[in-house]
Chain A
Amino acid sequence: GAGVSQSPSNKVTEKGKDVELRCDPISGHTALYWYRQSLGQGLEFLIYFQGNSAPDKSGLPSDRFSAERTGGSVSTLTIQRTQQEDSAVYLCASSLDPGLGSPLHFGNGTRLTVT
């Protein structure tokens, strides 16, 4: 594909509902990252996948957050029982070989608003 694709681009949900965010990485990129960015803030690391496995889940804010990656490609980030503090832009990135310093290619994010 041309780049990292995220869907939906915007999501408004009611407090307490579950949401699922999708990321389509660049074909062939083995590494995939999820970050969260609140208004005017930096990138908060959530989770990193190498292939289908997640060596580092330390950034997930609570057990309401989970992520999976299947087939070494598409990833979904699920937030259960959403809270207002979950409102943010969720960014996904993929990389060819981070061990060699390959850059991260970002999507334009999903803007989540919890009302």
Chain B
Amino acid sequence: SQKIEQNSEALNIQEGKTATLTCNYTNYSPAYLQWYRQDPGRGPVFLLLIRENEKEKRKERLKVTFDTTLKQSLFHITASQPADSATYLCALDIPGNNDMRFGAGTRLTVKP
């Protein structure tokens, strides 16, 4: 069956360190992968998109990698800040019909 797995439910790190979140998938061949941020009581907010032919994408302190052989994406937040504390979700398109499926998310806490 098709699965999207994010490495852990929760990740706690110290302010200033780099947070690394993992998204693994099986039985998919997505054309692209997206990362979202979700704060409590709010809907997810789009952060970054990376396509299957791209290895890496950067936006300010965020970096995403995409390895279609390993079927894995890594999401990095450098110089993390307490304001980065949130749940981060990866999402894949389903080829052929354009709907999007999400992982369960990783709740990141950055401690001052």
B49 & A109 in contact (Cβ 8 Å cutoff)? no
Q: List chain A residues, Cβ under 8 A from B97.
A: 48, 55-56
Tell me whether A50 is interfacial, beta carbon within 8 Å.
Answer: yes
State how many residues of chain B have any CB contact under 8 Å with chain A. Answer: 25
Q: How far is the CB of B43 from chain A (nearest CB, A)?
A: 3
A48 touching B98, Cβ below 8 Å: yes
State how many residues of chain A have any CB contact under 8 Å with chain B: 24
Residues B41 and A108 in contact, CB atoms below 8 Å apart: yes
Interface residues of B (CB under 8 A from A): 31-32, 34, 36, 41-46, 49, 51, 89, 91, 93-94, 97-105
List chain A positions with a Cβ less than 8 A from chain B: 4, 31, 33, 35, 41-43, 45, 48, 50, 55-56, 91, 93, 98-99, 101, 103-109
